[in-house]
Amino acid sequence: MHDRAEALATVKQVKHHFLKMICFTSLAFTLLLFSTVQASPVDRMAEALRFETVSFQNAEKINYEAFAGFLAFIEQTYPRVFSVLSVERFSDYSLLLTWRGSQPELAPVLLDAHYDVVPIEQGTLQDWLHPPFAGVVADGYLWGRGALDDKMAVITSLEAVERLLAANYTPARTLYFTMVHDEEIGGHQGAAVVANALHERGVKFAYMVGEGGIVLPDNPMLAGKSMALVGLAEKTYITLHLTATGDGGHSSIPPRNNAAVSLARAVTKIHDNPFPVKLVEPVTDMLRVMGPEVGGLSGWLMRNQWLGASPIAHQMARDRTNNALVRSTSAVTMLDSGVKENVVPQQAHAVVNMRLLPGDNVDDVVASVVELIDDANIVVKLDSWGQSPPVADINGEGYARISEAAAQVFPESLIVPGMLTATTDTRHYQIVADEVYRFRAYRVSMSDSRSIHATNERLATDSLLRAIDFTEQLVLAIAKP
């Protein structure tokens, strides 16, 4: 009887400890769940901005610990995504996530984003209203480098997929998500490596959605109406390195052939002689869609470009933003000359960054610049990122699915085809995607949009929340048969 009583007591004690353990585990899980629920998408985006994932041209300056920290953060923050989707790493810091569809015979779709950001320009830190990597939420905005370009896209994708997984959603079509780490310096270790791996596996996308168009509530071309710009193309990126040579010596006996002066003349010629204005696809498509909304003579000219192309293009060229839509552009960005104030330099260097319209040939552009400079003492060398992808099909499935999602989340906006005047790493994906569409679902004013790569980069908090809703609707739209 004593042994039996002892055994019963032991069983009772074990049962008590087991129940305590279950209660403790349940409490811990509840607390974890509660803390996760309490943290909002805005909080998570703010945390993402605190990682200084800066891509420097000089790779030795890159702090890859910040990149590793960011990847650890998103893996911990979005547990469903990283447990259900297949996750692969390339070049240590770029991710490829694969969400297998229930109908593998359907061609997959790629959604691309990057989380690296550009540096803060030296001498401008004091001009920021909030520190660029503090992740401050104030005055209805998220402040920080990467808020618009392009951590928002990474976070909205993860938020949307996490939400859909919580609802037990399974896509019919297989979806791929890339989150790469070096877009700002060319994408050679990120997008290029991922694209080549997919190409070797024989993956071919129906289309891809990358970085580009936005929702503009105050574009001057469409007064009083918001527009959702879906990019069908982007400009080609090239850089010219100009080196001038001349006679050096003491500044008290200045030579006529001064390298710095020759270089100054050359860059002034480039600046003062912009490329001609012209309308090309997809800007022509954009104007045709906008014409009925604009109305009047301007609207008629937009719809009848056989007559209106020239006046419309020249009118657009008067606005800084729209100017980039109607001509290839050049910008003198770097100058270097001299070692001492009383020494005439024998060499002077300049860097001119150019963005070419679809259809403009790189070699022809370089030849025209050399002819314009017309100076045998100046050598021009080309650094090209390669030709950008061709203009995507406005009648394609990708444009239709993006438009479908945009119409649900931004019903007040006119959906318009457009062109990204900057350049992304989408050119690397041409081997796996014939059609490249560009859209970022943040609603941002013209003035706020100019903070991209500039001081006080910021994203409205309500814009972030709508972008998450859009991304969810986009996934639902593109994932169906």
- CB-CB contact of 263 with 350 (8 Å): yes
Helix intervals (H) in 332-441: 362-373, 397-409
384's tokens: 């090209």
Please name the residue that has the structure tokens 């041209």: 57
DSSP-H helix ranges across 252-304: 259-272, 283-294, 296-303
Does the annotation count 183 as an active-site position?
A: yes
Out of 52, 116, 182, 425, the active site residue is 116
Q: Which of 162, 184, 128, 132 is nearest to 44 (CA)?
A: 162
Please say whether the beta carbons of 174 and 100 come within 8 A. Answer: yes
* Nearest residue to 298 via CA among 289, 307, 308: 308
Rounded to whole angstroms, how far apart are CA atoms 20 and 256?
91
Q: Are 164 and 475 in contact (CB under 8 A)?
A: yes
Eight-state DSSP code of residue 166: H
150 flagged as catalytic: no
Residue pair 81/162 in contact (Cβ under 8 Å)? The answer is yes
- CA-based angle 237:434:81, to the nearest 5? 90
Separation in Å, CA 230 to CA 7, 100, 344: 73, 26, 51
Q: β-pairing, 458-460 with 378-384? A: unpaired
* Distance (Å, whole) CA 112 – CA 153: 8
Q: What is the DSSP string of 98-111?
A: EE--S-TTSPPEEE
Partner residues linked to 380 by β-bridges = 242
List the catalytic residue out of 52, 150, 159, 183: 183
Catalytically annotated residues: 116, 183
